[in-house]
Structure 1
Amino acid sequence: MSFDKDAQDWLEAELADTLDEEWEIELEDSILSREIKKIYQKEHPDMLERSIYFRELLRLQAELIKFHDWVQETGQKVVVLFEGRDSAGKGGVIKRITQRLNPRVVRVVALPAPSDREKSQWYFQRYVPHLPAAGEVVLFDRSWYNRSGVERVMGFADEDQVEQFFQDVPEFERMLVRSGIKVVKYWFSITDEEQQMRFLMRIHDPMKQWKLSPMDLQSRIRWEDYTKAKEDTFFRTNIPEAPWYIVEGNDKKRARLNCIDHLLSLFDYHEIPHEEIHLPERIYKKDYERAVLPPELYVPKKY
Structure 2
Amino acid sequence: MSRNVDLHTHSSFSDGTCTPTQLVRLAQREGVEALVLTDHDTVAGLPEALAEARRVGQAFCGGVEINTREGDSVHILGYGFDPDCPRLKDLLADLRTRRVRRAAAILELLQGLGVSVSMEDVRCGSGETIGRPHIADALRRRKVVRSRKDAFRRFLAVGGPAYVPSAGPTVPEAIAGIRGAGGWAVLAHPGLLRKGHDLGPWVDAGLEGIEAYYPNHSRAQTGRFLEAAERYGLIVTGGSDFHGPRTEHDTIGGIRLPDEVYARFESRLDRCPAAARNGSHRP
Task: Please report the TM-score for the alignment, with normalisation by the length of structure 1.
Answer: 0.25
Name the larger-Rg structure: 1
Task: Please report the TM-score for the alignment, with normalisation by the length of structure 2.
Answer: 0.26
Q: Which has the higher strand share?
A: 2
